[in-house]
Amino acid sequence: MNSSPMRMPWVDTAKGLSIILVVMMYSAYNTGEYTGGVGFLHYVIGFATPFRMPEFFLISGLFLSQVIDRPWRRYVDRRVVHYLYFYVLWAIISIGLKIGIFSRDPAGMLHDLAMAVVQPYGVLWFIYMLAVFGLAAKLLRQFAVPAWIVIPIAACLQMWAPHPDSYAVEQFAAYFVFFYVGFVMAPLVFRLVEWTQARPALAAAGLLLWAVINGLLVYSPGYDMQPVGMRMGLAAWPPLHLTLAVAGAVALCVLGGFLSKFPAMEWLRWLGEHSLVVYVAFTIPMSLFRGAALASGLLTDTGMLSLTVLLVSIISPVILYFIIQRIGFGMFLFERPAWAHVDDGSAAQAASKTPLPAAATQSSRT
């Protein structure tokens, strides 16, 4: 499938790398929780610990400048309601299946549904926080708060890493700085990627140097790999952690630019273009397959089981996506229907669409 001319291939390729890292983390740690062991994927995802989620948020902020000055109603439709629609829909699906059906706990299901309003639910916290970040950025813009004030305060919150009772507040402190840095640094990031794309040998050398430094700092003395997480070495020092997060996020953008030049990487670009499809739907096949694999006893090695769970978790939502495209029913799972828009122009545009739009997952929706 060819990319839309309105999209930037390197951005989608970088998003493809990001979604693989996110699903890899959940696959490795979820498997490790049940096997009690550590596999090779634990060390791969351990390397990415500083920048795994920061990169996702930084990319989401890259296109914010295209919409942030739009009228409130249109902006809220694109940057708040858009994400809340998918969050609410998939929270209902996930909680209904896991708690209501599999656990047969209607009371627990209703409790979790109510809590999901104020406490981001499960892996869907990322979509919830994108809506919050979009609203916060618009308010800061509305009140003309300069970036030189916002970024230092957001950076201090990230390094402080508070753990209040509110998970939403905790995640805001941990990741808003990357979203806002993506917004502010967008012109620089775009120029850097364009510059390195024209100099592939230099880009490869720079990425290799970054990978060595990042790996040495993450796996320096003091690191501890566990079945459900890891403690980094020197990279855990808050100022260094923040620096490595931004550096790693930018490095993945450069890597996306490098890989997007190869036709063999088209699948990765496609995956990034449809990253929302994978993100909202991967946990259900992940849990089902992991449980079945462990029950069968055929695959017990933590590393190989984690890898298999990763592949199933990524491929299953893609298969579902193509099935929906083929039968023409269920598009509401990955595309907002007209009634879920608060801007009349957006609703009319959504109503006129028949196929699942590739642009539905692009952060630069206008």
CA 245 to chain centre: 14
Q: Over 70: is that where the pLDDT of 256 sits?
A: yes
Q: Which token pair is 314?
A: 């990524």
Q: Which token pair is 26?
A: 């959940």
Query: What's the number of CA atoms in the CB half-sphere (13 Å) around residue 245?
Result: 28
- At residue 350, the pLDDT reads 59
Q: Which residues pair with 225 in a beta bridge?
A: 230
Tens of pLDDT, residue by residue over 102-152, are 888 999 999 999 999 999 999 999 999 999 999 999 999 999 999 999 999
- Apex CA 67: angle with CA 336 and CA 141, to 5°? 125
Distances (CA, A) of 208 to 102, 205, 228, 259: 46, 5, 28, 14
Tens of pLDDT, residue by residue over 148-189, are 999 999 999 999 999 998 999 999 999 999 999 999 999 999
**Which secondary-structure segment (H or E) carries 297?**
none
- Apex CA 41: angle with CA 39 and CA 45, to 5°? 130
Q: Which residue has the tokens 């669409």?
A: 353
**Span 248-264, mean pLDDT?**
97
Tell me how far apart the alpha carbons of residues 13 and 201 are, in angstroms, rounded to a whole number: 19
- At residue 315, the pLDDT reads 97
CA 240 to chain centre: 22
Tell me how far apart the alpha carbons of residues 69 and 73 are, in angstroms, rounded to a whole number: 11
Asked if 306 contacts 23 with a C-beta cutoff of 8 angstroms, the reply is: no
- At residue 7, the pLDDT reads 73
Alpha-carbon Rg for the chain, nearest whole angstrom, is 20
> Which one-letter amino acid corresponds to residue 317?
P
Angle between helices 125-142 and 167-197 (to 10 degrees): 80
With CA atoms as reference, report the closest residue to 63 among 253, 197, 203: 253
Tens of pLDDT, residue by residue over 54-93, are 999 999 999 999 999 999 999 999 999 999 999 999 999 9
Mention every residue, 6+ apart, whose C-beta is less than 8 A from residue 5.
none
Tell me how far apart the alpha carbons of residues 53 and 18 are, in angstroms, rounded to a whole number: 8
**Which secondary-structure segment (H or E) carries 231?**
strand 229-231
Tell me how far apart the alpha carbons of residues 128 and 321 are, in angstroms, rounded to a whole number: 22
With CA atoms as reference, report the closest residue to 291 among 309, 311, 303, 317: 309
Selection from 92-101, 216-225, 296-305 with the highest mean pLDDT = 216-225
Phi/psi region, residue 330 (left: phi>0; alpha: psi -120 to 50; beta: rest), is: left
Tens of pLDDT, residue by residue over 340-365, are 999 876 565 655 443 333 333 343 33
Asked if 299 contacts 308 with a C-beta cutoff of 8 angstroms, the reply is: yes
Burial class (CB in 10 A: 0-12, 13-18, 19+), 150: buried
Asked if 177 contacts 242 with a C-beta cutoff of 8 angstroms, the reply is: yes
This prediction's pTM: 0.91
Q: Is 330 helix (H, G, I), strand (E, B) or coil?
A: coil
